[in-house]
Amino acid sequence: MSKNMIRSITIIAIFFCLLWLLGLGWAVGDYYAGKPDKPPQTTGVVTKAENKKGLTVVALGDSLTRGTGDETGKGYVGVLVDEIKEKTKQPVQLTNLGINGQRSDQLKRQIVQTEVGRQLKKADVILVTIGGNDLFRSGQGLMDFQTGDIATIEKKYLNNLKFIFEQIRKQNKEANVFFIGLYNPFINLGQGKEMSKVVRHWNYDSAEVSAEFPKVVFVPTFDLFELKVNDYLYSDKFHPNTKGYRLIAERVASLLTW
């Protein structure tokens, strides 16, 4: 093969190589020129508000929140959730943080926990029962109570209650809060009338604290148990039975608006 022919073939090969490189450069340039800085969102992604389905209920407090004494296991919280589902035709997510025997000072410590705060932030409805164990000493009653002792106990309780509501509103300014008042389970005992006076005064002061905060509703229950208390108490004569819890749930449900 002559040198001229080799030179010609080499030139042609170089030409086609350059042509191929030029085409590759255009293709790569077109690709990156048309590619966005960030990958596009997929069509299935929705905002947090859009992604939320139904309502969220968070319950705080003592054994009434747990439903102790209800043979069905629902308590007033469970019955109320059923009522909400029926009324709104929406699914309801319930987080029950109640603790048997809990006093207001213990709830005060619980409510500042990180996980509790996270649950409160998500809530549409917040339910609270607290104070019965402060006043009745976890079911022991007021058999030997003294006015001065009750006043001291109540003062501490009201300060704790105020702190609890402050924390709830700090975490969630929009949720409706329903605070369940006390009934008198000892109304038929010897000092029943004196105890009722104490409970009514306790409820009045609790309602006053509740009124200091927006969207916090005090829910009275004293009248529900007053006339037939034994019909609505569990065998321990302290906690509500299934009928008693249903009375409380229906009272709360009557206050709900959607």
Q: Which helix (H) or strand (E) holds 84?
A: helix 75-88
Structure confidence at residue 36 (pLDDT): 37
Ramachandran sector of residue 157 (left: φ over 0; alpha: ψ -120 to 50; beta: rest): alpha
CB 245 within 8 A of CB 79: yes
**What are the pLDDT digits (tens) for 83-126?**
999 999 999 999 999 999 999 999 999 999 999 999 999 999 99
- CA 70, 72, 74, 79 dihedral sign is negative
d(Cα 160, Cα 158) in Å, to the nearest integer? 5
pLDDT at 237 over 80: yes
d(Cα 161, Cα 209) in Å, to the nearest integer? 8
Amino acid identity at 114:
T
CB 125 within 8 A of CB 176: yes
Average pLDDT (44-50) is 31
DSSP reduced 3-state for 95: strand
Average pLDDT (172-183) is 98
Structure confidence at residue 142 (pLDDT): 54
**What are the pLDDT digits (tens) for 17-35?**
444 444 544 433 433 334 3
Give the list of residues 6+ apart from residue 99 with CB closer than 8 angstroms, or none: 61, 62, 66, 106, 110
